[in-house]
Amino acid sequence: EDFKAVNPRIIYCSGSGYGEEGPYVERPGQDMLIQGLAGLIANTGRGDQAPVPAGAGLADQIGAMNMVYGILSALYYREKTGKGQKIEVNLLAGLLAHLNQEYVAVLNLGEDFVRPNSGIGHPGMQAPFGIYETKDGGYVSIAMSPFKTLYEVLEAPQLAVYDDLKTLFDKRDEVFEKVNAETKKFATQDLLARLLKADIWCAEVKDIRRAAEDPQVTHMGMITSYEHPRGGKVRVVAPAVKMSETPATIERPAPLVGQHGREILAEFGLSKEEIAALEASGDMTVDAA
C-alpha cells in the first residue's frame, strides 16, 4: 500500500512457502516439506516401501512459474487500466493447484490412490534428507538440517559418528536406516513437535485427503467447489495465485459435450436454419443441461 500511494502503477509480487498469514507462516518453505504437506510424496515411490519425494524441486519450479504468469497478468491489466496491483504466490498453493487432478479424484470419487511397487529416491542429497517412519504408522519428511541437532532431538548420541558431510553423503543409506530406527520410537505428532521446537526443517507427510483438511490449506481457502449440472457439487483446488485487483475464481464447470455448439457455429457465420439442419441430421450434438 505504501508503494501504491507513491505510484499506483507499481506491480509488487510476494513469494513465500505458505502465504503471508496462517498457522505455518513462520515455518521454512522448503521444497520437500511442501511436497509432503500437499500430498505429492504420499503418491510417490514403491507401494511396499516408504513414500519418497519427487527427484526434482517441483514446488520451487511451479512457484516460480506462478510468479511469472501472475506478473504477466498484472502487466496486461496495467496496460489496459493504468493500475498496478499486489500478487501473492506461495509454494504450497502452487503445488496444490498442480495436483488438482488428483485432488478432484480423491475428493469426489471417494477412493484414495495406492502407490504401485516401483519408485525412486532423491539422488543428490546427503543424510538426513528423507522420509522417516514414526511409531504410529505415519511419516515425517526431514530436509537439510544440522545432523547434531537431529540426533540430540532423537536422544541418539550414538549417531554422532556420522556427523560430517562426507560421511553423511557416502553412507547416506546406512545413516537413513539408523535415523529411521530412532524416529520409529516416537508418535508422529510428538516427533513433529520435538523437531519443530529445535528448528529442524520437517513436515508431516500427508495423503491428499488429509492435506485437503490441513489448517494452512484451509486458511488459504485452497479447496473450493462449484456446481456441475450433472455431477452436483464438485470440490477442486482453487487458483494458486492471489491477485488484489483481479482475483481468480472458478465461475463455471467444464462445458458438456456440444454445449456451446450453436454459439460456435453462429460465430462461423452459420444461420439458425443451417444449425438446426445439422442437429436434425445428427451431425452435431447439443447438450445444454
pLDDT of residue 245: 93
Whether this prediction's pTM lies above 0.85 is answered by no
In CATH terms, 120-206 corresponds, of 3.40.50.2300, 3.30.70.580, 3.40.190.10, 3.30.1540.10, to 3.30.1540.10
Write out pLDDT tens, residues 11-70.
999 999 999 999 999 999 999 999 999 999 998 888 888 898 988 899 999 999 999 999
Whether residue 171 has pLDDT greater than 60: yes
With cut-offs at 50, 70 and 90, classify the pLDDT of residue 289.
Answer: low
pLDDT of residue 287: 66
* 86, β-bridge pairs: 12
With cut-offs at 50, 70 and 90, classify the pLDDT of residue 270.
Answer: very high
Show the cell assigned to 105: 479424484
In CATH terms, 1-113+210-253 corresponds, of 3.40.50.10540, 3.40.50.720, 3.40.50.12160, 3.40.50.300, to 3.40.50.10540
Average pLDDT over residues 253-275: 90
Mean pLDDT of the chain: 92
Write out pLDDT tens, residues 213-253.
999 999 999 999 999 988 899 999 999 999 999 998 888 88
With cut-offs at 50, 70 and 90, classify the pLDDT of residue 121.
Answer: low
| Alpha-carbon gap, residue 3 to 215, rounded angstroms | 31
Buried b (16+ CB within 10 A) or exposed e, 226-257: eeeeeeeebebbbbbbbbeeeeeeeeeeeeee
With cut-offs at 50, 70 and 90, classify the pLDDT of residue 111.
Answer: confident
Domain ranges of the chain: 1-113+210-253, 120-206, 255-289
